[in-house]
Amino acid sequence: MQFRPLHDAFGAEIIGVPNDLQMDDATFHAVEQAWFRHSILLFRGLRMTPEQHVSFTRRLGPLHIMEPLSMNLPGHPEVFVVSNAIKDGKPIGLKRAGEGYHTDGEDKCIPNAGSFLYAIEVPPEEGDTVFVDMYAVHDALPADIRRELEGRRARFSRIDLHHVHYPLLPALTEAQKLDRPDVWHPLLRRHPRTGRTSLYIGRWARDIEGMPEQEGRALIAELQAFAQQPRFAYRHQWRVGDAIVWDNRCTQHRATGFNDDVHVRTMYRTTLEGDVPIMASSLSEQTV
């Protein structure tokens, strides 16, 4: 097994694993350790069935089933489809998913630990995915800002921002609003497996605890602008057969656009359940 760095600070292509990702425990353990070390892992030239995609992901942790089920692969509720394709007059997946920096499930009490996206059909150009190394963002934050964030949480709100991020989808129903209440997460998050601290923020972040609304929103915008500097990012140009597993606890990502009137892009995603985000503090850092 070999690794080719995708970026100076994070991300690696993993070379030399079977292209259906079925492997023995020792090999799997090495892949998992590499995932924690690099935060995102790229596999190329895969030929996985949905069953193989699911069974590999399940070795990383319990699977999460995405709602609404209509966006999942028929017969495979564990496989969420991101696509602009129409079949028999119906969309086969969610169109324009994730076009703004985020981490999957950040607007839930228990955000998703990781996601594993597999390219089934890609446009001849564009439709890239950009990943951001949020450990590096944290480490590079000016000391006064880091101090300001210490011990604080942000409010993440699907209710406030759904129409902003998903203008093509219907408004949330009252039942959906009850199902997706606002949540508060620490801005400085300690990774449960690596012990490292990242800046935990994304597009559903709305306010900062203990700060006047305007000040909190300005700081969120400032943090996102800081995180979005090209030096922290890896932009992936997809080929069919590529798959990337990313760690939502220490990276952000966003889909970029493409000419979706003309071209088709279909991606299959498995999603891991997660853990309640742990607040990093100077004290907990010392006890790692």
Ligand X SMILES: O=C(O)CCC(=O)C(=O)O
Residues forming the site for ligand X (CB under 6 A): 82, 97-98, 104, 115, 117, 129, 253, 255, 267, 269
What is the per-residue binding string for Fe ion in 44-83, x denoting contact by CB under 5 A? ----------------------------------------
Q: Which residues contact 142 (CB under 8 A, 6 or more apart)?
A: none
For residue 173, the 8-state DSSP code is: P
Residue 173 to residue 132: CA distance in whole angstroms: 32
Cβ 212 to ligand X shortest distance, Å: 31
Secondary structure class of 195 (helix, strand, coil): coil
Rank residues 98 and 216 by Cβ distance to Fe ion and give the closer one. Answer: 98
Closest chain position to Fe ion (CB): 98
Cβ 158 to ligand X shortest distance, Å: 15
Residue 201 to residue 207: CA distance in whole angstroms: 11
Cβ 115 to Fe ion shortest distance, Å: 6
- What backbone phi and psi angles, to 5 degrees, belong to 31? -65, -45
Cβ 84 to ligand X shortest distance, Å: 10
By CB under 5 A, is residue 247 in contact with Fe ion?
Answer: no
| Run of H or E including 287 | helix 282-287
Give CA torsion, residues 23, 25, 26, 29, to 10 deg.
100
- Interface residue with Fe ion among 98, 111, 186, 202 (CB under 5 A) is 98
Name the binder of 155 from Fe ion, ligand X, none, CB < 5-8 A by kind. Answer: none
